[in-house]
Amino acid sequence: MEASNRADDFIPAGLASFGIDADEVELAVMGAAHSLFWPAILELLELDTSGVAPERSLDLSQPPLTA
């Protein structure tokens, strides 16, 4: 069986595994959010950050340090 990338296949199954019932409107809203955000998430996952040195002494209350 081939894996699916469609939200229609995995959103209802994921909700059902947690015992959550969702009607057609709720599934449509989740599907719309998925189609809006998923392409950008895939781009972030493919981003190669191996050439970027990690920032030491990270302080999340401050902007990133510039080199």
Cα end-to-end distance, the chain, whole Å: 49
Helices 7-17, 24-46: axis angle to 10 degrees equals 110
Residue 39 covered by a domain:
yes
Confidence band, pLDDT 50/70/90 cuts, at residue 20: very high
Tell the residue number behind the tokens 């947690």, with chain if given: 18
Residue 56 covered by a domain:
no
- Domains: count for the chain: 1
Over residues 13-38, the mean pLDDT reads: 92
Q: What is the mean pLDDT of the chain?
A: 85
Residue 13 covered by a domain:
yes
Residue 24 covered by a domain:
yes
Residue 58 covered by a domain:
no
Over residues 21-50, the mean pLDDT reads: 92
Domain range for residue 37?
7-45
DSSP at 9: H
Confidence band, pLDDT 50/70/90 cuts, at residue 1: very low
